[in-house]
Every structure is written in structure tokens, then in C-alpha cells.
Chains A and B, each alone.
Chain A
Amino acid sequence: MRELLVGASPVIPSDRRTIAVTDTNAAETLLHFLRELLFAFESDGFVPARFEVGRADEQHVRGVLHGERFDPTRHETQPEVKAVTRHGLWLEPLESGWRAEVVFDV
């Protein structure tokens, strides 16, 4: 997601915000979570550096998002991400986490 927003530009985790989403199943929860990241970028220019997970299960994701405000002198502008879509959305549990495929509308 960070790469979609600013390419390979380094992001300094100097700021933080809490993210908490709840939804009906793992796929919808992931969709909801990614939409929160996109909204943070679109509304405040907040670029994510990393996410510190507090709680994550099929219906909840809660934690602290570390990042900083978009700075056009340091961050490479990318084509606009319009939305996180349900197209071909899938995810599967692994031994230590999840693997997912998500299509963004760019």
C-alpha cells in the first residue's frame, strides 16, 4: 500500500494514529482496513510506514499506524488510488499470518 502511495520513497514513522476496524469476515475486514489507510492518505496526506498490530482476527483489526505527512520534496507522487476493490479479493491463513490478493482501482 505504501508503495502504491509514494513508490520506493522512504517514509519516516514520526507520527501515529490509531486504526480500529470491525467487519463480518476476514476479507471484508481486510478491505475495511485498507480503506482506512487510503482515507488517511486522501484526507490528511498521511503516508503509512508500518502498522503495529494490537489485535487482528477475522473480524477485527486494531493497532497503531506509524507514518508521516506526504512531503512532495521527499515522496514520489504516484497515480491516484481511487479505491480498494472486492475484485478477486482472496486471502488465506498461513502458519504465521495471512496471504492476500487485493485489486486497487488506480
Chain B
Amino acid sequence: MPDDRLTVERIDAYRWRVPRTGGMRTDGLIFADTALMHDLEGDQAVTQVVNVAHLPGIVGPSIAMPDIHWGYGFPIGGVAAFDEREGVISPGGVGYDINCGVRLLRTPLSVSDVRPKLAALMDRLFATIPSGVGSSRSDITLSPRALDRVLSHGARWTLDEGYATARDLECIEANGSLPGEPDKVSDRAKQRGKAQLGTVGSGNHFVEVGYVDEVFDDTAARRLGLAPGTVTVFIHSGSRGLGYQVCDDYLDRMVRAAAKYGIALPDKQLCCAPLSSSEAKEYLGAMNAAANYAFANRQLMSHFVRRTIGDVFSPAVADETDLVYDVAHNIAKFEMHEVDGAPRRVCVHRKGATRAFPPGHPELAERFRDIGQPVLIPGDMGRYSFVLVGTPGAFSETFGSTCHGAGRRMSRTQAKKTARSRNVPRELEARGILVRAASRRTVDEEIPEAYKDVQQVVDVVHGAGIGKKVAKLVPIGVVKG
């Protein structure tokens, strides 16, 4: 078990309960199989699940997905819903990279079309989409007013500026636009974000070219255009320095707010404010603004991916490169859910967790209404990634949420040590995966074995019924920061 002082009870093959004790207001509920639970040994993540269960107004259990690992305050892979009147909002429940998320594009190309030009494609993507620490774009300069429009409108701004199609917006969670309030974002945050729109960043962020290796659900895969052999492009990034700064700014405010409203915290990093307070409303406005920045960021990168595909293949191929979907996996949102048999408006925190709405949900665009919301689960750069769809099980049990990725099993320092004497890009190239990276250290820290096997993670959510497998994708080229 992860912590000797904690009682963790097995419910079934995929579920574990941490019973309510002491100051906990609810149980903890962890989705994992025995092997993944074993991986949590020595990790503080389960303690963090317990800590979250202490927060006022929590509705339902404090939930952890199978890719759970230690995070700042809340665990990464955590889901918690709070009553709109009695509950709280916590920047630690969203994370530093607000609306860090993933999008998937599908091309009309097959893997045999791409292989002969793969090196050229990867070189052009690496040159066109700035990556690495502090990366910025010189070809997109945002005036302060333009940046405010990005923060207010998100991906809708990219449509107005000619970087998106109306179809793209239908394929983005919340249509790529939340009620952002630019005046709640500090000047310092705006300064950090002003030149970074359209850049991938560093760490675990990437642009990855791959192909559909296996299909599990023919109907959903056909609807999403994911026939076997189809070449795809994954983009994983978020709100860059702007989002990090918004989180920092509001953590400071929430430390004071928690004291002001007399909220007892088992860990200072869970600092929060009542949802009805001015501090919470201002954070929501700023968080939504940062989320809009992230939606616009991923859309802009898609524009440059299409342009690159047009240059390397043909403009017609670029025109037929469609967005499959775009999901946020670090966000807090007001949603309607059924709690104890009655509809209730709750603020769902998803930190390293993906929304997974079921077929028929009114928020989904018509094209997804009968299959459910696409869910994108990237793995590590050496193995595979998955496309799933949302399920009724997720909606009833996890506030419409599922996992978000593989989850680290090795610290960055451990990974770097493991990779020190190796040439990781060459190893991957020998396996047919070309890597282009701004920093060797990033590649070393992101070695495949630094992550859990995402198949294990996905099998748990599929088995537990909180996500349904559609397709498996295999990488052939990766741009890392």
C-alpha cells in the first residue's frame, strides 16, 4: 500500500476505496489495477487524494485516475467536484499549466505515404513550431488589445484571424472558448504570454506524428476518420508562461483567502476560496482567460502543422487535414451532474484528468452526439497513444471524467540518470521514430520507461467503464521542447 497510515480497501478489479476518517468529508476513490496500485508505493499521491477529501463542499468522492501521481496540492490524475454554494475552488486543483491539453489531427495520408518524407516533415515541423524553454514566435505579434481578445475569446479569436475553420471549433471542448476576463489577468502574466502564442514549450509537451495501428470500435473510429494506417498529428501543450503566472498570482491570493474564510487546510497548497467569494470569481475569470489562451495556442499550432503538411505534401492534403478533437486536462468548470438522484450544479476540478461526456450529452456537437465525446490519451514517445470516447459510466461515477495520459513512474532526475550513457534519439530512430528536440536533457527526462505503460492505464478506465477504447496510435516522429 502507498502509505502505512492509510487504509485502502479493494472494491473490485479496478477500484479502491480510502474510507472517510478524521477530518475527511468523503471517501477517496482510486481507479487502478493491482500493478498500478503497487506503483503508487512511496508516492504521496494517495495522501493527496485524502487531503482533497477534507475540502469544504466536496460532492461525491475525492477521485483518482489510474495515471495518478504526486502533484502540487491536488494529485495529478485527480477529480473533485464542489457544490456551487458550499464548495470551494482551488488553483492547486487545476495546476500551473491551466488548460494543458491535447488535440489530435487526422491527415488523408497513410503511413506509407509519409515514411519517405518523414525526415523532411519532422525538420519542417521543428522549424515551424517553436519549442523549448522560453520559445516565442516572431511572426505573430500581439498588441495588448489583441492579447485581451485572445483571453476573452480563445479559439474564436483564431477563427476571426483566419487560423481556424468553423469545423475546428466544433471539435474543441467548450468550442474552444470560456468566459475569460482579461482584466483579472496580471500584467506580469500578460508579459510572460505575449510572444508565446503558437509555441509548444518544453517538458512533456510535444508535437507527434503517428498512425492508427489498431481499431477497437469501428463505428466510432470511422466517424472520427481513424481508419487503420491513417497518419495523425498529436499536439500537447497549454497556456505557457501566462497560465503559470495566473496560477502563481492566485495561489498567493488563495493562501490569504483560506485564512480569511477560516478554511482548515491539511496542506497549504490546497489553498482555496468559497465559490461564492470575490476571490473565487476573480480566479475563475483569470483561469478561463488562461484556458482561452491555451485553446488559441493549440489552434495556432494546428494552423502551422497544416501549413507544413501543405509545404511537404500538397495544399490539398493540408485542406483535408481535420481536427479530430481537442481536450483540456487541467481545468475547473461548472457543470450539471446528477448527485443523489437530483441534478446539481457543481464545479468539477480536473487536474490531469479528461472530460469524458457520454453519447447524447447536449454539450457535444452533433457529429459526436451518438458516439460520445472523443478522449485523447497520449502515451510516452516510444510506445503508443489512445483515442477513447466518453461513457455513461464516467458521467455517473466520475463527474464525466477519465484519465489523461501515462503518468510518470520515474522522477526527472532518475530518468536523466537512466538515460545518461545512452543516445535516446538514436535508439528511437532504430525503432522508426524520429525525434527533433530543442534540448537533450528534455529527451533524456522523457524516455519511454520514465512513464507508466499507457495501455495499462487505458485498460483500467475501459474495464471500469469510465472510458471506451476506440483506437491505438503509434508514433513515427516527435518534436520535443
Q: How far is the CB of B11 from chain A (nearest CB, A)?
A: 31
Interface of A is mostly: loop
How far is B202's CA from A105's CA once the two chains are assembled, in angstroms?
Answer: 12
* Chain B residues, Cβ within 8 Å of A5: 133
On whether A87 and B412 interact (CB within 8 A), knowing A79-B441, A80-B134, A80-B481, the answer reads: no
* A77 interfacial by beta-carbon distance below 8 Å: yes
Give B191-207 as 1s and 0s: 1 = Cβ < 8 Å from A's Cβ atoms.
11000000001110000
A7/B72 in contact, CB under 8 A: no
Give B232-268 as 1s and 0s: 1 = Cβ < 8 Å from A's Cβ atoms.
0000000001001001100100000000000000001
Q: How far is the CB of A67 from chain B (nearest CB, A)?
A: 14
Cβ-closest chain A residue relative to B204:
A79
* A59 interfacial by beta-carbon distance below 8 Å: no
Partner of B134, one of A45, A83, A86: A45
A76/B72 in contact, CB under 8 A: no
B244/A70 in contact, CB under 8 A: no
* A18 interfacial by beta-carbon distance below 8 Å: no
On whether A77 and B132 interact (CB within 8 A), knowing A83-B248, A87-B269, A106-B412, the answer reads: yes
On whether A42 and B241 interact (CB within 8 A), knowing A79-B203, A86-B268, the answer reads: yes
* A78 interfacial by beta-carbon distance below 8 Å: yes
* B8 interfacial by beta-carbon distance below 8 Å: no
Q: How far is the CB of A97 from chain B (nearest CB, A)?
A: 25
Cβ-closest chain A residue relative to B480:
A79
On whether A83 and B96 interact (CB within 8 A), knowing A42-B134, A78-B439, A106-B203, the answer reads: yes
Number of A interface residues at 8 Å Cβ cutoff, please give it: 22
Q: How far is the CB of B338 from chain A (nearest CB, A)?
A: 35
* B438 interfacial by beta-carbon distance below 8 Å: yes
* A35 interfacial by beta-carbon distance below 8 Å: yes
A79/B202 in contact, CB under 8 A: yes
Partner of B439, one of A42, A43, A70, A79: A79
* B402 interfacial by beta-carbon distance below 8 Å: no
* A82 interfacial by beta-carbon distance below 8 Å: yes
Give A93-106 as 1s and 0s: 1 = Cβ < 8 Å from B's Cβ atoms.
00000000000011
How far is B413's CA from A106's CA once the two chains are assembled, in angstroms?
Answer: 11
* B97 interfacial by beta-carbon distance below 8 Å: yes
On whether A79 and B72 interact (CB within 8 A), knowing A45-B134, A106-B203, the answer reads: no
A39/B192 in contact, CB under 8 A: yes
Q: How far is the CB of A5 from chain B (nearest CB, A)?
A: 8
* A41 interfacial by beta-carbon distance below 8 Å: yes
On whether A78 and B133 interact (CB within 8 A), knowing A42-B241, A86-B251, the answer reads: yes
On whether A78 and B248 interact (CB within 8 A), knowing A42-B192, A105-B96, the answer reads: no
Cβ-closest chain A residue relative to B268:
A86
Residue from the set B96, B248, B481 with the largest chain A CB neighbour count within 10 Å? B248
A82/B188 in contact, CB under 8 A: no
Q: How far is the CB of A105 from chain B (nearest CB, A)?
A: 5
* A85 interfacial by beta-carbon distance below 8 Å: yes
How far is B250's CA from A83's CA once the two chains are assembled, in angstroms?
Answer: 13
* Chain B residues, Cβ within 8 Å of A43: 188, 191-192
* Chain A residues, Cβ within 8 Å of B96: 82-83, 105
How far is B157's CA from A99's CA once the two chains are assembled, in angstroms?
Answer: 48
* Chain B residues, Cβ within 8 Å of A105: 72, 96, 244
B134/A70 in contact, CB under 8 A: yes
* Chain B residues, Cβ within 8 Å of A87: 72, 269
Q: How far is the CB of A45 from chain B (nearest CB, A)?
A: 6
Give B418-460 as 1s and 0s: 1 = Cβ < 8 Å from A's Cβ atoms.
0000000000000000000011011001000000000000000
Within 4-28 of A, Cβ neighbours of B (below 8 Å) are at: 5, 7
Q: How far is the CB of A35 from chain B (nearest CB, A)?
A: 7
How far is B91's CA from A82's CA once the two chains are assembled, in angstroms?
Answer: 14
B269/A77 in contact, CB under 8 A: no
Cβ-closest chain A residue relative to B244:
A82
Give A27-68 as 1s and 0s: 1 = Cβ < 8 Å from B's Cβ atoms.
000000001000101110100000000000000000000000
Question: 8 more A-B contacts (CB under 8 A) besides A79-B441, A82-B97?
Answer: A42-B192, A42-B241, A43-B191, A77-B438, A79-B442, A82-B203, A83-B244, A83-B248
7 contacts between A and B (CB under 8 A): A42-B192, A43-B192, A76-B439, A79-B439, A79-B445, A85-B72, A86-B251
Complex A-B, nearest 3 residue pairs according to Cβ-Cβ distance, in ascending order = A80-B202, A77-B439, A80-B133
